Structure formats: C-alpha cells, structure tokens
Amino acid sequence: MLERNAAVRCCGYCLRQYRYDRRDLGVIEFQAVTKRFDDGTVAVDELNLTVDPGRITVFVGPSGCGKTTSLRMINRMIDATSGAILVDGKDVRQSDPPLLRRGIGYVIQQAGLFPHRTVLDNVATVPVLAGWSRAKARKRAEELLETVGLPASMAGRYPAQLSGGQQQRVGVARALAVDPPVLLMDEPFSAVDPVVREDLQTELLRLQGELDKTIVFVTHDIDEAIKLGDKVAVFRTGGILAQYDKPSELLARPADDFVSNFVGRDRGYRALGFLTASGLTVGEIASVRLGDTAGDARRKLSDGWVVVVDERKHPCGWLSADRLSGVDEQAAVDADLVLSGGSLYDTEHGSLRSALDAALSSPSAQGVAVNGSGELVGSVTADEVLRALAAARTAGEVPQ
C-alpha cells in the first residue's frame, strides 16, 4: 500500500514538495562500526546510525570527522575494522564488492568520469557491466541524460569538453543508470562554483521528488546539509557522531557546543526558515497597473511608494515620488519607469524567514506578499514578522 503524504518546506527561494511511500528498499544500518587505519588513527568510532529509506541523509562535519570514510564503508570501498553495516538487513560483507557496488549509485567530487569514453558510454557503464546489450544500455543512457537536464547533443562529447557542472550531472546520471535504490554522494558539489552549486542542489531535490532514492550525502558545508537533508548527522573530529536529527531540530536544539558552533552563529535566522507564517498578518498595499497614467500613480502613493503590477496581477516593481517627478500626468506607466527590487513572500507556502527577507529587501520597507499563483495580495512589514515570531515562541510552537 502506498501512503501519500504531502509535506512542504520552504528553504530560501526554492519550493520543495515531496511525497514518500513506505518502502523497505534502501534501509542502511550502521551497527557499532569502527574504522581504525594502520597508523592508528581512528576514522570512525563506534558508529550507530540508521538511514531512513527514500530520504536524503546528510553526513556533515569538519575534515577528519569520518564522514567520507563512513560513506565509503557502505559500498565497501573501505572495509570496517569492526561492527557491521547492513543494507536491507544484509551485511555488506557478505556481498562480493563489485556486485554490491553495481547495485549502489556512487557520485564523487570531480565526477570521476572516464576521460576516454563519451558521455553516453560513461552513463552506460554499469548497465554494460551488469550484462545489458550495448544498444539497450545506450538507450537508457539517453533517457538519463534527459532526466538530469542535459541536452541530447552532449551524448557524443567527451568529458574534457564539459564544464564542471555538466560533468557532475553526467556523474549523477551514471550513478542512476540501473536505478539503484541507494545513492551515495561524496561532496559532489564541492568542486563547482557557487552559482552552479545552487543549481545542482535544486536539481537534486527535484530529482528526489521524482525518484525517492535513499541518498547518503557527504558535505562539509552546513548550509548545504540543512538545505538538502531530511535528516542530518553531524560528526566530530575523530569519527564520533555528535547529533543525528532533522535540520530544524539541529538549529533549534543543538546537542552540545560543538554542534551549535558548527551550525553557526546565525542559526537563529536559519531556523526561521522552518517556521510557518500562519500567524502573520498581511496588510493592505497600494498598487497601480502597467499602462495606468502617472497621475493615477501619484494619487495612489502611500508613504511615498506604490507597487506596479501587470495584467496578471503579478508585481513587477515599485514607483516612488522621486521616480515620478517630472513625468507628465497623462504619461503611461511603463516598465522603464519601474524600480525593481526586493523578494516576494508567498502567503500560501512561505516561511517567516521569507517574509522577513521580503520586508528587509524591499526598497519601500514593505515586503510584497503574493498568493500561490503569484498575484499580489498585500504587504508585510518587519515589525509584523517579529510580532509573529514572539507569538510563536509564547505559544510554544515547535518548529517543524
């Protein structure tokens, strides 16, 4: 039986909806796993952790904390010194490593694409290893290129001709080729520049929305961990698990000083991202349409500002007394006259954080509020947000 559950969260500017069904495919269990290297260093120390199926679990921590080592023990790239790792109840040590690895997707930093093969043949690697005919494998590879958002023209190119971001996408496609239930990702986005990284993160969330894989994701970037993880495991140097929780819990209730320091000084602000803005009052806002006259706009100015919307009632910017000075009464308001700026607060899906951001980034100190379809519905101010936050605290509202 599939249970459908629509849970929604807003992180920054991206909207994420996911549904999950309860499946047993892809449960990963660490049972008292320890890894000690020959020179004596303890990379992982008695790790006990269960990775939920169909979710993204992030391992995060400073260098030397054992996050990558733990990940690599799942597909036996490294073998544990003691303890057991079970995937779907079966100890990984009972499987032949190459066969185990063919059933687990593995994505690494710098992609590790085979330079001597075309993009298509790179993606088709595992199916061919698993015995598929080359034609069938290539067909599947073509589908996957589309899934990860690469144009079909890339298929015949070689990795050296691709940018870092494109190479990473190919790496993900290669990992997904035989549709494994588990995907291991080792700092996959660390080697690309921040703009590309954000794109890739959003892509991953979108993909996960379609595919529901069990993903174990390693990163040293706490922001990435909070953005992507359904659950986050914070590791301390020496291979010790400091806290394993939902991101909102990490932010609201860090287990100790290490975790709270690692999560960062502005965790309060980040925590706002997890509070729904149900108690927030949306106020009135003055608006004019594109094509109305400058005279109309002047008359509508409220506190010196008025919002301009298009024919679909989507806001496109602001007009102020300054902008309108010297403009003829009968002249039509057009796009050139409008001052753009400020983010939007979505009343149906937005969090307190996005409301605060809208208020703070608006040139008029009034945050623009829109409904789920993007139509203007009103304004929010910073004061209102803080009032709503205080109310949430006194009500003991637990951040979800």
Partner 1 sequence: MNLLTSWLFDPTNWSGPTGVPARLLEHLWYTALALAIAIVIGFPLGALVGHTKRGGFVLVGAANVLRALPTVGVLTLVVLLAGIGLVPPIAALTLLAIPPIMAGAYAGIGAVEPVVVDAARGVGMREREVLFQVEIPNAMPLIFGGVRSAALQVVATATIAAYVGLGGLGRYVFDGLALHDYPQMAGGAILVAVLAVLVELVLTGVQRLVVSPGLRPVRTSGGIQR
What x/- string results for residues 188 through 207 when contact with partner 1 is judged by CB under 8 A?
--------x-----------
**Nearer Cβ to partner 1 (75/351):** 75
Q: Containing H/E element for 208?
A: helix 194-211
Nearest distance, CB of residue 126 and partner 1, angstroms: 5
Q: Which is nearer to partner 1, 18 or 106 (CB)?
A: 106
Nearer to partner 1, 50 or 110 (CB): 110
E-assigned strand segments in the chain: 7-11, 14-18, 28-36, 42-51, 56-60, 82-87, 90-91, 104-108, 182-186, 214-219, 231-236, 240-245, 287-289, 305-309, 315-320, 344-346, 367-370, 376-380
Q: Does 101 bind partner 1 (CB under 8 A)?
A: yes
Cβ-based nearer residue to partner 1, 186 or 230: 186
| Helices 352-361 and 382-394, packing angle to 10 deg | 160
> Does 78 help bind partner 1 (rule: CB under 8 A)?
no
Question: Which residue type, as a one-letter code, is found at position 377?
Answer: V
Contact pick of 55, 174, 323, 353 for partner 1 (by CB under 8 A): 174
* Residue 114 interacts with partner 1 (CB under 8 A): yes or no: yes
Task: Collapse the DSSP code of 278 into the 3-class scheme (helix H, G, I; strand E, B; otherwise coil) and give the result.
Answer: coil
Q: Interface with partner 1 by CB under 8 A: which range of 106-114, 131-139, 308-316, 366-374?
A: 106-114
Among 116, 253, 299, 393, which residue interacts with partner 1 (rule: CB under 8 A)? 116
CB atoms within 10 A of CB 164: 16
Q: Which two tokens stand for residue 151?
A: 């144009």
Of 21-29, 110-118, 211-219, 233-241, which part binds partner 1 (CB under 8 A)? 110-118
Residue 305's DSSP bridge partners are: 302, 320
Tell me: does residue 271 bind partner 1 (CB under 8 A).
no
The correct pick among 44, 74, 108, 215 for binding partner 1 (CB under 8 A) is: 108
Q: Is 160 in the site for partner 1 (CB under 8 A)?
A: yes
DSSP 109: T
Q: Is 304 left (phi over 0), alpha (psi -120 to 50) or beta?
A: left
Please pick, from the candidates 70, 125, 201, 351, the single residue that binds partner 1 as defined by CB under 8 A. 125
C-beta of 213 vs 323, nearer to partner 1? 213
Q: Which stretch binds partner 1 (CB under 8 A): 43-51, 99-107, 258-266, 390-398?
A: 99-107
Rounded CA separation 150/346 (Å): 30
Which of 373, 315, 372, 379 minimizes the C-alpha distance to 349?
372
Quote the radius of gyration of the chain (alpha carbons, Å): 25
Among 102, 227, 236, 270, binds partner 1 (CB under 8 A): 102
For residues 197 and 231, which CB has a smaller minimum distance to partner 1 in the complex? 197
Q: Which residues bind partner 1 (CB under 8 A)?
A: 75, 77, 97-103, 106, 108-118, 125-126, 129, 158-163, 165-166, 171, 174-175, 196
